[in-house]
Amino acid sequence: MRKWLLAPVLGAGLLGGALGVSAFAVTTGQAESRAETFRQLELFAEILARVQADYVTEIDETASIEASIDGMLASLDPHSSYLNPDEFRDMQVQTSGEYGGLGIEVTAQDGFVKVVAPMDGTPAARAGVKSGDYLTAIDGVSIVGLTLNDAVKQMRGAVGTNITITIVRDNVEPFDVTLKRENIRPESVRHRAEGDVGYVRISTFNERTAEGLDQALAAVRKDVKGNMKGLVLDLRDNPGGLLDQSIEVSSRFLNGGEVVSTRGRRPEDIERYNARRGDRFPNIPVVVLVNNGSASAAEIVAGALQDRGRAKVVGVTTFGKGSVQTVIPLGPQKGAMRLTTSRYYTPSGRSIQGSGIEPDVEVAAVRLSDEDIADLQKRVARYSESALPNALANEQGVERKAPHVPANMPPADYKGEDYQLDKALELIRSGNATVSKTMAAAPAKAPVAN
């Protein structure tokens, strides 16, 4: 319930007059605002009618209105948007962690769809699809020049249905392969032993991530020979996902206490999310790997483990998405609205909106020179929250550090494959990633925004 602060009462007549004027002002203000809204809606209807009547070709009215709605939401911030019924279904499929498809991880390259890797045990793997192949047509219709999302949408479909893809491979004539779609459950969690250290990578936070992490943690404990010296949790290039999964993942490394808090438009719109007791490796150091592609739910996990003293964060500053979106279904055949409804804060009360999470140990993935900084500034401008159109400001005034040459980067003669991982392993084996004695203590209460 909202609490109102009233000035001391000086007299019954004066109070009554003041309340009367206040009520009139509110009513008048609301009426004027409503009238202005109606005027703007009339303007929209007039413009739509003119376009329908006079545009050089006939328009798709549904698509035009959807674009108008999406434009309104996009003007609020980069993450609010309208999802038409098809897009809403696609989003539900993505977050469910399984879908009907072929089992191919793909990317876009020069207008073509390129296979990154077929997933083990899937139709694509059994048919001999290889990493580096190019897909040029689906069911005889060219997909060259299509967006990656549109191409992927065509490859997915009902389980049991057939699809024919055209493959272009080096030194081989283009050929067709017909596949039957199956239920695909992509792995969001992978693991392996790095000698005496466990390694777990989380690529996204969908409905199956916590379940996959439990399996990975159990397996990696067996894979590491002898006493495990530490664990690397790799969240690099993880774009985020479901809030509840980030809390579940954090719970695997904490014994209770706050993981994240969210605050909405009104002071009373505050939620605090706590970890369940259940640290799977209570006496083992943890290092979290991050980069500027680590966003949203990935930043919640990194920020929670960093603030609580449970892990050292290694890498470069994260993306900086410190807001939470709520997906609001709009009814049958209307799709849904994805709306930014709150900001989130790490256990110590800091907002990382725009600024990102700065690592405890800054380590570059590649060697940089002073001449590379100009190019780096361009890339950061494209791949950080603060540079997106209409991005929310950091209300605590924290700004993202300007691009710079990290002190720790691969030497000129480095022959390894993953310098950031190598440094994380070195940090653990040297004893400099020890577990904090205060990790289970209750975090400082975040200040309430008024």
Tokens of 438: 């205060």
296 is catalytic: yes
Tokens of 312: 């050292």
The backbone torsions φ and ψ at residue 61, rounded to the nearest 5 degrees and listed phi first, read: -60, -40
C-alpha distance from residue 135 to each of 130, 164, 321 (Å) = 11, 10, 33
Cβ neighbours of 50 (radius 10 Å): 10
Cβ neighbours of 89 (radius 10 Å): 13
> What length is written for the chain?
450
Q: How far apart, in Å, do the first and last CA atoms of the chain sit? A: 15
436 is catalytic: no
Spell out the SS3 assignment of 157-172. Answer: CCCCCEEEEEEEECCE
* Options 77, 188, 294, 321, the catalytic residue: 321
* Options 77, 133, 234, 307, the catalytic residue: 307
Q: Residue 32 contacts by C-beta under 8 Å, 6 or more apart in sequence?
A: none
The backbone torsions φ and ψ at residue 16, rounded to the nearest 5 degrees and listed phi first, read: -60, -40
60 is catalytic: no
Closest CA to 380 of 320, 421, 324: 320
Per DSSP, which regions of 150-292 are E strands? 162-169, 172-180, 182-184, 189-194, 197-202, 230-234, 258-263, 270-274, 286-290
Q: What's the rounded Cα separation, in Å, for the pair 414 and 412?
A: 6
Tokens of 137: 């047509």
* Options 80, 81, 188, 296, the catalytic residue: 296
Residues with a known catalytic role: 296, 307, 321
